[in-house]
Amino acid sequence: MENKFTFAKALIHAAGDFIKDNMVQDLQIEEKTRFDDLVTNLDKATQELLITRIKQAYPNDNIMAEENNIHHPISDGNVWVLDPIDGTVNFVVQGANFAVMIAYYENGKGQFGLIYDVANDIMYSGGGQFDVYANDKRLTSYQDVALKRTLIGCNASMFSCNYCGIRDLVDQTLGVRVYGGAGLSMAYVMTGRLLAYFSYIQPWDYAAAKIMGEKLGYVLLTLDGKEPDFATRQKVMFVPKQKLSTIQTYLD
Amino acid sequence: MENKFTFAKALIHAAGDFIKDNMVQDLQIEEKTRFDDLVTNLDKATQELLITRIKQAYPNDNIMAEENNIHHPISDGNVWVLDPIDGTVNFVVQGANFAVMIAYYENGKGQFGLIYDVANDIMYSGGGQFDVYANDKRLTSYQDVALKRTLIGCNASMFSCNYCGIRDLVDQTLGVRVYGGAGLSMAYVMTGRLLAYFSYIQPWDYAAAKIMGEKLGYVLLTLDGKEPDFATRQKVMFVPKQKLSTIQTYLD
């Protein structure tokens, strides 16, 4: 597993370098389901790079990935879960605040996760048997903070419509932040910049953070407190386990 | 004016260094008007540092500043507008995403502005007779982009209640971002990460961005299209002049 983790860290750096080298050129932007659901040629090319190298190194391993409907079930064997560019809108508009994400599961059990903040060159990695780091700084487990001294990260529309009472929870805190990328928002939870994160996301959006977070005292659950299904888009929360019951008192 | 601008750049760096040197110690946090309106001992000490050095260098100049009710009128003589820590909540919770801001006005006319992103060591400066820079990179004037390829920065509650139709505008774009600091949000407008910014803010929150923005093709106006009063908290927008009429078609 040590070797696989080392391989994954080198791979995610290579993917980040590939994006940086190519993002200066004209992007080809496509609209998927609607005008604000974007994919670029670089999302696809980066996913290809990731898959090709994984298959070269581990030909019997399987892939679940964002683009091109590659959806091997999480519970079946060795599965790499890939999001080549998480936060594509930020990538397109800002050229920053996006991440490459890799998670590795064996028969449904998370072994390690990686979130690479390409623009800021910060790699969050670890989980399972590995300590969690932001580059060379080891992240510490969640330390309790009073709600009224925290911030909540959230999907804008779930906040706006007070979905499940999320805005009632936010009202107990110093406010909401909307950053537009699931991976980096969850990295900010793990570094204490946000207490919790709420969104409506896919397995490749939460797979890496879930593994790392569990090592640090966080849980990734659906809004009704169940394990996510790793198959469909779901409304989830990423919260400190120690704060879960407090948070749930504000949620419907 | 060249000398004063050079002085201001050195001063804002000194203020940032002072904050960085002292933020690791225990902050004393006070609640002002309510639990989410915070001030720390470092906000006050940094403002003192700024005022002391300005008064040493320019004893006849005047001050408008966030803390301690120092509110010299903008139209009267030489006025330094100071926000020692913009984004105090981010400062307290995140230790990042806050800024020191300085603006210099003569008889109501903006001469230059500075926004210093302390955690990332990025100083935005210029306006008036000076080109606008982010550190040593000169910022270019606004280049038109289609609404549907942009992001809007906004105060969370104004977005959430669709104040003046802001959410209707956001619905024409790729979405909203809530970063929690006026200064850095407006810096992101000037670097193209956001198309526009909407918030309910004080003169020291917008004084610097207004001067820099005007040099780059942006305007800082109240939501009904008037000049801000530099005296009270107002609902304002910071938008490309070229996009103002388009944006106004979505606002009530």
In a 3-state reduction of DSSP, which class is residue B212? Answer: helix
Q: What is the mean pLDDT of residues A95-119?
A: 98
Q: What is the mean pLDDT of residues A198-209?
A: 98
Confidence at residue A27, expressed as pLDDT on a 0 to 100 scale: 86
- Looking at chain A, which residue has its C-alpha nearest residue B87? A174
Selecting from A29, A90, A160 the residue whose C-beta is nearest the C-beta of B160 gives A160
- Stated as kind and residue range, the H or E segment containing A62 is strand A62-65
pLDDT band at B68 (very low <50, low <70, confident <90, very high): confident
Please give the Cα distance from B176 to B197 (Å, whole number).
Answer: 10
Reported as a single tens digit per residue, the pLDDT across B190-240 is 999 999 999 999 999 999 999 999 999 999 999 999 999 999 999 999 999
Is B156–A149 a contact, with Cβ atoms under 8 angstroms apart?
no
Instruction: Encode A175-241 in three state secondary structure.
Output: CEEECCCHHHHHHHHHCCCCCEEEEEECHHHHHHHHHHHHHHCEEEEECCCCCCCCCCCEEEEEEEH
Selecting from A150, A177, A192 the residue whose C-beta is nearest the C-beta of B180 gives A177
Q: How much of chain A exceeds pLDDT 90, in percent?
A: 92
Selecting from B94, B170, B193 the residue whose C-beta is nearest the C-beta of A93 gives B193
Instruction: Encode B83-114 in three state secondary structure.
Output: EEEECHHHHHHHCCCCEEEEEEEECCEEEEEE
User: Is A168 annotated among the ligand-binding residues?
Assistant: no
Q: What is the mean pLDDT of residues A109-130?
A: 98
Q: What is the mean pLDDT of residues A9-36?
A: 92
Confidence at residue B27, expressed as pLDDT on a 0 to 100 scale: 86
Selecting from A29, A156, A188 the residue whose C-beta is nearest the C-beta of B175 gives A156
CA A201 to chain B, closest CA, distance in angstroms equals 16
Please give the Cα distance from B11 to A46 (Å, whole number).
Answer: 44
Is B149–A92 a contact, with Cβ atoms under 8 angstroms apart?
yes
Confidence at residue A225, expressed as pLDDT on a 0 to 100 scale: 96
Task: Tell me if A102 sits within 8 A of A50, measured CB to CB.
Answer: yes
User: Is B85 annotated among the ligand-binding residues?
Assistant: yes
Dig out the tokens for B109 from the structure: 């006319």
Is residue A124's pLDDT more than 90? Answer: yes
Chain A residues whose beta carbon lies within 8 Å of the beta carbon of residue B180: 151, 175, 177
Compute and round to an integer the Cα radius of gyration of chain A.
Answer: 17
Is residue B25's pLDDT more than 80? Answer: no
Looking at per-residue confidence, does B242 or A39 come out higher?
B242
pTM: predicted TM-score of the whole model, two decimal places: 0.96
User: Is B37 annotated among the ligand-binding residues?
Assistant: no
Tell the residue number behind the tokens 């004209």, with chain if given.
A26
Chain B residues whose beta carbon lies within 8 Å of the beta carbon of residue A176: 156, 178
Looking at per-residue confidence, does A18 or B68 come out higher?
A18
Task: Tell me if A124 sits within 8 A of A212, measured CB to CB.
Answer: yes
Chain B residues whose beta carbon lies within 8 Å of the beta carbon of residue A170: 156
Dig out the tokens for B12 from the structure: 């804002």
Reported as a single tens digit per residue, the pLDDT across A71-99 is 999 999 999 999 999 999 999 999 999 99
In a 3-state reduction of DSSP, which class is residue B242? Answer: helix
Q: What is the mean pLDDT of residues B31-44?
A: 90
User: Is A48 annotated among the ligand-binding residues?
Assistant: no
Of A63, A24, A38, the closest CA to residue A181 belongs to A38
Chain A residues whose beta carbon lies within 8 Å of the beta carbon of residue B151: 89-90, 93-94, 180
Is residue A143's pLDDT more than 80? Answer: yes
Reported as a single tens digit per residue, the pLDDT across A183-197 is 999 999 999 999 999
Is residue A24's pLDDT more than 90? Answer: no
Please give the Cα distance from A131 to A2 (Å, whole number).
Answer: 12
CA A139 to chain B, closest CA, distance in angstroms equals 15
CA A54 to chain B, closest CA, distance in angstroms equals 33
Reported as a single tens digit per residue, the pLDDT across A230-250 is 999 999 999 999 999 999 999
Pairing of strands A29-31, A38-40: antiparallel
Is residue A125's pLDDT more than 90? Answer: yes
Tell the residue number behind the tokens 């004063």, with chain if given.
B4
- Mean pLDDT in chain B? 96
Reported as a single tens digit per residue, the pLDDT across B83-127 is 999 999 999 999 999 999 999 999 999 999 999 999 999 999 999
Is B151–A175 a contact, with Cβ atoms under 8 angstroms apart?
no
Is residue A67's pLDDT more than 90? Answer: no
Confidence at residue B226, expressed as pLDDT on a 0 to 100 scale: 97
Is residue A25's pLDDT more than 80? Answer: no
Selecting from B36, B149, B170 the residue whose C-beta is nearest the C-beta of A93 gives B149
What are the angstrom distances between the C-alpha of A49 and each of A16, A82, A83, A116, B173? 11, 11, 12, 15, 31
User: Is B83 annotated among the ligand-binding residues?
Assistant: yes
Is B148–A36 a contact, with Cβ atoms under 8 angstroms apart?
yes
Confidence at residue B236, expressed as pLDDT on a 0 to 100 scale: 98
Reported as a single tens digit per residue, the pLDDT across B151-188 is 999 999 999 999 999 999 999 999 999 999 999 999 99
Q: What is the DSSP string of A16-27?
A: HHHHHHHTTSPP
Confidence at residue A251, expressed as pLDDT on a 0 to 100 scale: 93
- Looking at chain A, which residue has its C-alpha nearest residue B181? A177
Dig out the tokens for A96 from the structure: 């920053």
Confidence at residue B13, expressed as pLDDT on a 0 to 100 scale: 98
Is residue B128's pLDDT more than 80? Answer: yes
B 147-166: CB under 8 A from A: 148-151, 156, 159-160
CA angle B110, B113, B119 (to 5 degrees): 165
Least confident of A215-224, B27-36, B94-103: B27-36
Task: Tell me if A123 sits within 8 A of A14, measured CB to CB.
Answer: no
